[in-house]
Structure 1
Amino acid sequence: MAECQGTTLIPIGRVDPIILAWLKEDLPKGLSITVTITPPLPLTPRHFFKERNQYLADGLLAELTTLNPDGNTLSLGIVDADLFSTGLNFVFGIATTGRALISTFRLRPEIYGMPPNPGLYRRRVLTEAVHELGHSLGLPHCEHPGCVMFFSNSIADTDRKGPEFCFRCRRRIE
């Protein structure tokens, strides 16, 4: 399993500072890592697809490549924009070895006609961040529906699984 000393949060475009504060506080509890935050990167139109009104997640993730020169720190990009990936209508996030990207856009309860709920929103953001960081550490999707590494096909899957690893996945990253 990949060895890392910490995670760098990289806001892309306008990201609510409270989300960064939540992640800085919550990520070390589940992953035993240090967390730092960089100044925001611009959200450029280069990866925006007007006909879909979405950004291509793969392109945004590729832009994080140069931000981890030593390989000992994971990079987690955070964007408040709707994302898609090749072959998928939308994604909550995407990852590759050493770097990950999450979108907060579809994690807000208001998107689904619900009233604002900061506690639920915080849990969803943490769940997707831990899930994508798990992938960046080399974990595949897990078959256990309660594990954070279970594939989220919908927001209901994200809500059901929560931000914790199952025993097997936890062992693989320790």
Structure 2
Amino acid sequence: MKILIVTLTYIEKSIIDEIINNLSGYGLEVDILLDSRKYLPISAFDWERLQYNAEKVLSFLKSTYDFSYDSIIFIADSDGYINGYNFIFGLTIDNFAIVFLNRLREEFYNRKPNLELFMERVVKEVTHEVGHTLGLGHCNTIGCVMNFSNTVEDVDKKQTKFCKNCTYKVENLSKYLRQK
């Protein structure tokens, strides 16, 4: 199963490496397309909210990218929302997803920067959105990376890994797609 990670803003290499390490453990093949700033559409930016409308961003990106990947995950060091929510950490539509990093940083909450905690949160949210692109819904198993996160504290309660049931689903899907 092939996954493409596309950075829409500058993302530190150590964070990308952590994402790859986490996803590779499930038999997923991960490719990276770094620093594609030109693809974060200004037309999706809401100047009143100072946030990107995630649905508009993904709609634009889906029309821009035509690669042969099972999942394409975009990462932006920005703030995103969808109608009805003040903010979101990520959004998946079909096999495309976007993860917004702004609210995963301690600095956003006027706290001392913590790179290790930030990296862990990014890995969790990227893994979560990859799960959605592979057909997983939200999981009720305590600690599963597929738990819904309404706050950054909810993100912190999750592990970076899928629970046993979600792992089984991802690994079986990966095996099935490799046999095709």
1:90 partner SS: coil
The alpha carbon displacement at 1:9 in A equals 1.1
Higher helix share: 2
Where does the alignment leave 5 or more consecutive residues of structure 2 unmatched? 172-180
Where does the alignment leave 5 or more consecutive residues of structure 1 unmatched? none
Is this contact kept in 1: 2:127–2:145, CA < 8 A?
Answer: yes
Letter aligned with residue 168 of structure 1: N
The alpha carbon displacement at 1:69 in A equals 3.9
TM-score under structure 2 normalisation? 0.85
Report the Cα distance in structure 2 between the residues aligned to 1:149 and 1:104, rounded to whole angstroms: 17
The alpha carbon displacement at 1:23 in A equals 2.1
Q: Deviations over 1:77-101 (max 9, x none)?
A: 0001110012111000001221111
1:75 partner SS: strand
Matched, 1:170 2:164: no
Matched, 1:32 2:27: yes
Report the count of equivalent residues: 168
Q: Deviations over 1:93-129 (max 9, x none)?
A: 0012211110111111111222111111111000000
Within 5 Å, give how 1:32-111 maps onto structure 2.
32-39=27-34, 40-42=36-38, 43-66=40-63, 67-70=65-68, 72-111=69-108
Spell out structure 1 runs of 4+ moving beyond 6 A: none
Percent identity between the aligned chains?
Answer: 33
The alpha carbon displacement at 1:15 in A equals 3.4
Letter aligned with residue 22 of structure 2: D
Letter aligned with residue 93 of structure 1: G
Q: Deviations over 1:32-88 (max 9, x none)?
A: 212211141422311000110100011112233242443x43101000111001211
Bigger CA drift: 90-99 or 110-119? Answer: 110-119
Q: Deviations over 1:121-169 (max 9, x none)?
A: 1110000000001000011111123111110010011000121111122
